[in-house]
A and B are shown apart, each in its own frame.
Chain A
Amino acid sequence: MAEYRDITFGTDEIKTDDYFINIGPQHPSTHGALRVVAKLEGEIVQSVDPVLGYIHSGIEKMCESLSYPQLIHLTDRMDYLSAHMNNEAVCLCIENALQVEVPERVKYIRTIMDELTRIASHQLWWCASGMDLGAMTTFFYGLRDREPILDIFEETCGARMTFNYNVPGGLMFDIHPNFQKRVKEFLKYFRKKLPEYDRLVTGNIIFTERTKGVGVLSREKAIEWGVTGPSGRASGFSCDVRKHHPYSAYPYIQFNEKIGTEGDSYMRWKLRMDEMWESMNIIDQLIDNIPEGDFAIKMKGVIKLPEGEYYQRVETARGEFGVFIVSDGKKNPYRVKFRSPGFSNLLVLNEIVKGFKIADLVAIMATLDLVIPDIDR
């Protein structure tokens, strides 16, 4: 790999070695166990090679020996910050394959839980990436404001992070009687806190100098490399699955899909803050109108999907998540594939980081919002 330094007198050519550094699997800013081997010239990054596999657990192979309700419990652990949406993707896939219609109450509650999970995930993203860029305060503010959401989840679903609340056919149990009151209190509280976040970080001169113009991703590249979610929308790629292929209660509500044009880190940051406002508007439209009815329909004891292939797309906090089930009629699936948003988002890193410094590499990885167990499965 290394060439020797070759000083030839009389010419101006000095050959130098390539310098590789390793931002290893144990590092506070890699958001999980990701190893990045960066080739540098001085402090400027020439190319970047992510090495994956430090958290690979063989989930797809395990699913081939589990029954359908059992494999929902493993999808929680992949992208654990949007656990509710992952569960919902598998439940919707099974329900569409069996051509079963869930009650309206279930659709409304699933959508409200989705949007609360999205707000919680963006809060955690905000706190962790603020810390990457050096602002310790964002860590405490973000996690302080995430705790009321986790309290709401704990009262209704029983757990703080890995819920298992969705089952094929509906929900596991009905919502707590206090649910609507607590959600409305939380929305009132959070509407006062979000402008504080903006005043703290988004207008700060150090922050704008570090993120404007850094890591620009053009629209054509975003479509070619399959970058979805807020990272793709910041480049102008309109990819929101809630708008183009709606599911659950999304056909009944109005909301805007925010699209940016510049595609740099500042735009990605700003779009996620705007998405938190949109999520609150969606919950406002739904929280008072939850229809009465059952919380689940009766399904058979052993679920068997008819032969064929089924795909379901869902919008998680990171982008488009997909579940692909190949079934041969038995009670275990033949093949399950999870299309994770982080996989495509991470592997565009080499294209957008050329020519920037190491500190910019950290800023770009922070605004791409990666969760590594989602990539490695």
Chain B
Amino acid sequence: MGIRKKKLSEIESNDSPIISTHEGGSIVLANLDAMIDWARRNSLWPLTFGTRCCAIEFMAVGASRHDFSRFGNEVARASVRQADLIIISGTINYKMAPVLKRLYDQMPDPKYVMAMGACATTGGPFYYNSYAVVKGADHVIPVDVYIPGCPPRPEAYFYGLLQLQKKITKERYYTDKKRKKAEKE
């Protein structure tokens, strides 16, 4: 009785992403992909970027009761060049949008974006009749995971983080045939 490795298509939503296989390449490259993905998803360091009330919930997630360093977010970096993950917690308005775009451009690859809270997802309570709010941060930068709530509970934040980790598990750098073909051209 050993642990049977599951294919990616068989993983259900509550499974741990560690047990998976990468198909489509030779043994060396597929395992290299698995190792890179494991390293990237378990060491995401977020940027300290919080504008409104969700920033306080983000701080509470980093504190001692709900601790995000158990999931790999060890420290929240202040400088953009040292961060992997930008968590947009709060409202984005028309004056702040160029600042957000500049921060995203300055981040080195691989970078991921999480939209936390109702304001960053779609504009939130400020959707109707507000002249200054961008209705959703995905009008400015591409977003990977959306976490609803106003503000979302720390447990909701962790569910979003785990979904992001599953998304990273599906990335294939060396065994991605379509990308290699596009690069050759």
Contact = CB atoms under 8 A, between A and B. Distances in A.
A and B touch in their complex, CB below 8 angstroms: yes
Interface of A: 24-28, 32-33, 53-59, 61-62, 65, 73-74, 77, 80-81, 124, 128, 139-140, 143-144, 146-147, 150, 160-162, 373
A143 B64 CA distance: 7
Given A54-B93, A58-B133, A144-B65, A161 B151 contact: yes
Interface stretch (B27-35, B51-59, B164-172): B51-59
Contact of B132 (A33, A57, A80, A373): A57
Contacts of B55: 32
A53 B52 contact: no
A161 B93 contact: no
A80 B78 CA distance: 23
Contacts of B78: 27-28
A173 to B, nearest CB: 19
Interface of B: 47-53, 55-57, 59-60, 63-65, 78, 80, 90-91, 93, 95-96, 99, 103, 125-126, 128-133, 150-151, 153
B129 A62 contact: yes
Contacts of A62: 126, 128-130
A74 B56 CA distance: 17
A146 B56 CA distance: 12
Contacts of B50: 32
A25 B48 CA distance: 11
Given A57-B126, A161-B57, A140 B64 contact: yes
Given A25-B99, A62-B126, A54 B51 contact: yes
Nearest to A62: B129
B155 to A, nearest CB: 11
A73 B53 CA distance: 14
Contacts of B133: 57-58
Majority-rule SS of B interface residues: loop
Contacts of A139: 59, 63
Which of A33, A53, A58, A59 gathers most chain B CB within 10 Å?
A33
Contacts of A146: 60
Contacts of B99: 24-26, 54
Given A28-B48, A81-B56, A161-B151, A57 B65 contact: no
B3 to A, nearest CB: 37
Given A55-B91, A161-B56, A74 B125 contact: yes
B131 A61 contact: yes
Contact of A162 (B64, B93, B150): B150
B84 to A, nearest CB: 16
Nearest to B76: A28
A377 to B, nearest CB: 10
A33 B53 CA distance: 12
Contact of A26 (B49, B91, B93): B49
A143 B52 CA distance: 18
Given A33-B96, A55-B93, A162-B150, A144 B64 contact: yes
A27 B133 CA distance: 21
B63 A73 contact: no
A373 B168 CA distance: 34
Contacts of B80: 26
Contact of A80 (B56, B59, B64): B56
B96 A54 contact: yes
Nearest to A27: B78
A220 B96 CA distance: 36
